[in-house]
Amino acid sequence: MREKNLINIEKKLTNLMRDLEKTRISEYVDMLDKPMKLLYVNFMIGLARGLGTAIGLTILAAIFFYILNQIVDLPLIGKHIARLIEIIENYK
């Protein structure tokens, strides 16, 4: 009985070790030990997110204004939207 419990505990520990290795917790601990590397990585992630957000919103706004320009034919709004689309197309 005691031997079965030890084998069961050993299997559970083995599974726990495998799960911890999958989470790459050692890399996380290494990162916490090196604060400059942590700052650098977070800075680069922030730049990538900011750039991605800016590009994505620009594309969505261009599509929105293009569709709005096709649908709306009001002279006042149409002129402003056409000007905005022209500005966006010039920056491509």
> What predicted TM-score, i.e. pTM, was given to this entire model?
0.49
Query: How many domains is the chain partitioned into structurally?
Result: 2
Convert the pLDDT of each residue in 45-57 to its tens digit: 999 999 999 999 9
pLDDT in the model for residue 42? 92
Same domain, yes or no, for 22 and 57? no
Amino acid at site 55: I
Same domain, yes or no, for 20 and 55? no
Same domain, yes or no, for 57 and 71? yes
SS3 72: coil
Domain that residue 47 falls in = 35-92
Question: How many C-beta neighbours within 10 Å does residue 81 have?
Answer: 19
Same domain, yes or no, for 61 and 89? yes
Same domain, yes or no, for 15 and 1? yes
Residue 87 burial by CB count (10 A; 0-12/13-18/19+): exposed, middle or buried?
exposed
pLDDT in the model for residue 49? 97
pLDDT in the model for residue 50? 96
Same domain, yes or no, for 17 and 50? no
Same domain, yes or no, for 47 and 28? no
% pLDDT > 90, the chain: 28
